[in-house]
């Protein structure tokens, strides 16, 4: 039977109209037309502005008749629109009084916060028309991608190995050799590489539409344009970055992203999005009016009593996340990406902001975080918090988790870096980090996989730079080296930057391997920064947010140059995947509950069964009993790891294995490549089963079977 | 945009010429979808289609879905390099058999 509501009741010029449905917000394709719905608590009137694609002037402006408003929502169906060629925006009539927090101005066209496709920056780096009256343009999405049988992979959290990646940087370098460099399509061509490396999940730095020209400026050093390259500044939460899509010029970025995800899923690789809900690209009162500010400034942003923007993000404004309206848009956004894009998880940039009340005070039980934790659609999505913000809130270990949230473990990074460079007094802390940081998480009943373990991430030094520079070298950013962290816990191994000294080069190679080995035998979830597996350098720059050049691009020539390192990383990943004892779901109990004669984990030093916990100690060893793997459900081998961060070689006495088992050597970073590691399953037996001489600043991993 | 439809050797050959986009895809779909009958073999000759938008690709996928649901077969012929590339990147290509020439298309359907 034909529905009666597919017939127009109103007309405006050539356009036939009907009262719309208030939900869902945004523009939705309905039979014969498009349903436009937008909320504003302050608007006294609203006009839908329609453009033909790329046209500077609107083709129509259709005021919402009074009877099309329900509550604070304007909703209208417009019939007969060509969905591919329409761009739409709104003029919002209402109070303009910035000190009182109101920024409505019907002379400006504002973008729908629910825009699913955004035009205006269709091709990366193409200079925009600065006179465009509507620079970021909402478009319509068809959302009919043929997923066939795909769905999110739901890899158990403790089995993940995350690879943090910037979409453009991954394949933009000419050496990548892909057909469409720097795009989502480029990543598809590199799936075999990701498979070979062995990671389970890629975490994409922001892919929501952003404006690479935000704060763009010439470099004082080279004159080339500096961009908002990383993209931590959202223009629209529902739209993928068009400039990252080879098909962005055809407006097909939605399909391109979905196809990337489908192809990755086919190869067993999850996709986690780095999402930025703490602020938007509108900046402070000097920033542009793009969307939220001109629609309902007071609802969307945290404002001081004088109408200025609170700046807990360090980026100009702060999204008012615990306002019920804003909470809903965040929830709608994540549900959309989970359901429509099959996203496997989300990493929340400066997530502590999401736990602040509208005046900035931290909440004990933030409703937004609770809503996300218990949401039915997000139920199997990974939720990962960057558990701090730029306003001084640091919540590693105390982030309101509701049994669901994992955290970027900043303490893991700091402890491992200090232990790695040979600081004393780190052994006790290190023992906690290796176990999945039970000191931070166990009391609250949170398991090891709560801890996203990382030594390097996009913020800060790459692994190569961590062992090659004592201090940051950010001159190329044009901020007099004042930007970026000063707290790097790095060590250059003797010379700052590049050197010909073979001893220093060898030590750096060893230190990188030591870091990788520690990361991949730690309980919790390891995260590797793109390129660290081949020794990528940023030449000491620890904050490359603005560089569309070789400071960020992955140079694929490194794969040959540092083939040995790549092999070592690959082996360590394969080793982790082969051994469930490295991937416990629950914390160790520190005793023998399986009757194996060995506790689940035991601590050792140069003497077996006697770890040196003193302040001067720079050695630590531990043994995992395979009978206890995954609570005894998945029998595994014994694993013994010895770490000698002392500057001289030391003899490590080995704990004795049960009769019939022997120690075999999987890795020893004190041995030159290719002898530094072997393919898991092919470990040769250790000549002397009683002990081994471990070189200075070296790590060995043994397997008992 | 024009379409000519003829039948030969038990195969329906539909030759399209001109751009297929939001303004032409709907009418094209109306003419092409009825070709998908039980067991029908359809060859779409797109040698003279310079540009195909997202709406055009969706029309092709609808046709494919309809044809395969009634045990029919569909072959696309003469896709331009750019259309092929776009289809590959966005995943549409995975569904289709493609050939360079009409003769090769006929052979693939027999």
pLDDT tens-place string over residues B59-99: 999 999 999 999 999 999 999 999 999 999 999 999 999 99
Q: Percent of chain A at pLDDT above 90?
A: 95
Residue A181 and residue B18: Cα distance in Å, rounded? 30
Q: Is-contact A558 A537, C-beta < 8 A?
A: no
DSSP state of A272: E
Q: How far does A255 lie from chain B, in Å, by closest CA?
A: 5
Q: Is-contact A138 A316, C-beta < 8 A?
A: no
The phi and psi torsions of A358 (rounded to 5 degrees) equal: -60, -15
- A259/B89 CB distance under 8 A: yes
Side-chain half-sphere CA neighbours of B32 within 13 A: 31
Q: How far does A250 lie from chain B, in Å, by closest CA?
A: 7
Confidence (pLDDT) at A426: 98
Taking the Cβ of residue B27 and every Cβ of chain A, the question of whether any pair is shorter than 8 Å is answered with: no
Confidence (pLDDT) at A590: 95
| Chain A residues touching chain B at CB-CB below 8 Å | 82-85, 142, 144-146, 179-180, 184-185, 188, 246-247, 250-252, 255-256, 258-259, 262-263
- A144/B58 CB distance under 8 A: yes
Residue B110 and residue B99: Cα distance in Å, rounded? 13
Instruction: Tell me whether strands A73-79 and A69-70 are parallel, antiparallel or unpaired.
Output: antiparallel
The two tokens of residue B53 are 């938008």
pLDDT tens-place string over residues A395-445: 999 999 999 999 999 999 999 999 999 999 999 999 999 999 999 999 999
Q: Where are the alpha helices (DSSP H) in chain B?
A: 25-32, 54-69, 81-90, 102-109
Confidence (pLDDT) at B1: 86
Contacts of B34 (CB under 8 A, 6+ apart): none
Q: What residue ranges in A267-392 does DSSP mark as E strands?
A: 270-275, 345-348, 382-385
Mean pLDDT score across all residues of chain A: 96
ipTM above 0.85, yes or no: yes
- A145/B91 CB distance under 8 A: yes
Q: Is-contact B100 B70, C-beta < 8 A?
A: no
Confidence (pLDDT) at A641: 98
CA-CA-CA-CA torsion sign (A311, A313, A314, A318): negative
pTM: 0.97
Contacts of A551 (CB under 8 A, 6+ apart): A476, A538, A539, A541, A544
Taking the Cβ of residue B68 and every Cβ of chain A, the question of whether any pair is shorter than 8 Å is answered with: no
Confidence (pLDDT) at B26: 87
Residue A445 and residue A490: Cα distance in Å, rounded? 33
Confidence (pLDDT) at A549: 97
Burial of A691 (0-12, 13-18, 19+ CB in 10 A): middle
pLDDT tens-place string over residues A308-333: 999 998 899 999 998 999 999 999 99
Confidence (pLDDT) at A689: 98
Residue A464 and residue A448: Cα distance in Å, rounded? 27
Residues of chain A under the 70 pLDDT cut: none
DSSP state of A683: P
DSSP state of A523: S
């Amino acid at each position: 039977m034909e529905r009666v509501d597919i017939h127009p009741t109103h007309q405006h010029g050539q356009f036939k109209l009907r009262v719309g449905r208030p939900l869902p917000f945004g523009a939705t394709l309905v039979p014969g037309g498009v349903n436009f719905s937008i909320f504003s608590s302050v608007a006294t009137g609203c006009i839908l502005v329609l453009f033909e694609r790329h046209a500077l002037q609107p083709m129509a402006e259709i005021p919402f008749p009074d009877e099309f408003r329900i509550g604070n929502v304007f909703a209208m169906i417009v019939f007969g629109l060509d969905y591919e060629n329409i761009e739409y925006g709104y003029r919002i009539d209402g109070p303009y009084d910035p000190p009182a927090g109101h920024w409505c101005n019907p002379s400006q066209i504002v973008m729908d916060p629910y825009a699913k496709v955004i035009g205006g920056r269709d091709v990366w780096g193409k200079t925009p028309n600065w006179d465009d009256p509507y620079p970021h343009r909402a478009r319509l999405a068809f959302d009919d991608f043929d997923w066939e049988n795909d769905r999110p992979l739901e890899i158990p959290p403790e089995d993940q190995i995350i690879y943090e990646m910037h979409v453009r940087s991954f394949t933009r370098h000419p050496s990548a050799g892909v057909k469409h460099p720097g795009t989502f399509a480029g990543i598809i061509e590199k799936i075999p590489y990701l498979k070979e490396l062995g990671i389970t999940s890629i975490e994409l730095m922001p892919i929501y539409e952003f404006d690479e020209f935000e704060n763009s400026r010439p470099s004082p050093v080279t004159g080339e344009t500096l961009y908002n390259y990383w993209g931590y500044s959202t223009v629209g939460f529902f739209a993928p970055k068009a400039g990252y899509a080879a098909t962005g010029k055809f407006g097909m970025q939605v399909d391109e992203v979905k196809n990337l995800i489908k192809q990755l899923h086919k190869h067993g690789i999850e996709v986690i999005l780095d999402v930025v809900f703490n602020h938007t690209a509108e900046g402070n009162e000097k920033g542009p009016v793009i969307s939220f500010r001109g629609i309902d400034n007071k609802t969307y942003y945290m404002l001081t009593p004088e109408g200025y923007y609170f700046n807990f993000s360090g980026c100009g404004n702060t999204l008012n996340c615990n306002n019920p309206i804003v909470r809903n848009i965040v929830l709608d956004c994540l549900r959309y990406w989970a359901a429509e894009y099959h996203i496997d998880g989300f990493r929340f940039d400066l997530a502590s902001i999401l736990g602040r009340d509208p005046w900035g005070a931290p909440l004990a039980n933030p409703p937004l975080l609770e809503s996300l934790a218990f949401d039915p659609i997000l139920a199997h999505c990974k939720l990962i918090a960057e558990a701090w913000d730029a306003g001084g809130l640091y919540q590693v270990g105390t982030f309101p988790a509701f049994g669901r949230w994992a955290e970027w473990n900043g303490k893991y990074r700091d402890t491992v870096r200090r232990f790695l460079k040979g600081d004393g007094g780190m052994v006790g802390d290190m023992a906690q980090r290796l176990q999945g940081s039970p000191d931070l998480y166990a009391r609250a009943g949170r398991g090891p996989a709560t801890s996203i373990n990382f030594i390097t991430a996009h913020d800060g030094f790459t692994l190569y730079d961590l062992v090659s520079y004592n201090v940051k070298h950010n001159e190329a950013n044009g901020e007099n080296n004042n930007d970026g962290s000063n707290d790097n816990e790095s060590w250059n191994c003797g010379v700052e930057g590049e050197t010909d000294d073979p001893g220093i080069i060898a030590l750096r190679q060893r230190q990188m391997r030591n870091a990788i080995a520690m990361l991949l035998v730690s309980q919790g979830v390891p995260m590797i920064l793109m390129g660290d597996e081949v020794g990528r350098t940023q030449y000491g720059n620890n904050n490359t947010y603005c560089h569309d050049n070789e400071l960020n691009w992955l140079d694929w020539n490194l794969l040959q140059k540092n083939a040995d390192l790549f092999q070592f990383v690959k082996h360590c990943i394969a080793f982790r995947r082969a051994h469930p004892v490295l991937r416990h779901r629950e914390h160790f109990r520190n005793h023998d509950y399986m009757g194996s004669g060995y506790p689940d984990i035991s601590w050792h030093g140069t003497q077996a069964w006697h770890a040196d916990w003193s302040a001067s100690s720079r050695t630590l060893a531990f043994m995992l009993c395979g009978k206890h793997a995954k609570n005894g459900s998945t029998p595994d081998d014994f694993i013994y790891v010895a770490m000698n961060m002392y500057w001289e070689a030391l003899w490590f006495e080995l704990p004795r294995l049960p009769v019939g088992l022997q120690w075999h050597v999987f890795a020893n970073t004190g041995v030159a490549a290719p002898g530094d590691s072997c393919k898991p399953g092919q470990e040769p037996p250790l000549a002397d089963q009683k002990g081994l001489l471990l070189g200075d600043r070296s790590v060995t991993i043994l397997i008992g079977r | 945009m024009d379409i000519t439809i003829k039948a030969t050797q038990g195969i329906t050959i539909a030759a399209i010429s001109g751009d297929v986009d939001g303004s032409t895809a709907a009418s094209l779909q109306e003419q092409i979808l009825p070709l998908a009958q039980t067991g029908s073999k359809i060859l779409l000759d797109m040698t003279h289609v310079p540009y195909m938008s997202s709406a055009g690709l969706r029309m092709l996928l609808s046709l494919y879905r309809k044809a395969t649901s009634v045990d029919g077969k569909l072959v696309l012929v003469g896709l331009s390099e750019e259309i092929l590339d776009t289809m590959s990147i966005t995943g549409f290509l995975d569904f289709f058999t493609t050939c360079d020439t009409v003769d090769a298309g006929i052979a693939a359907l027999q």
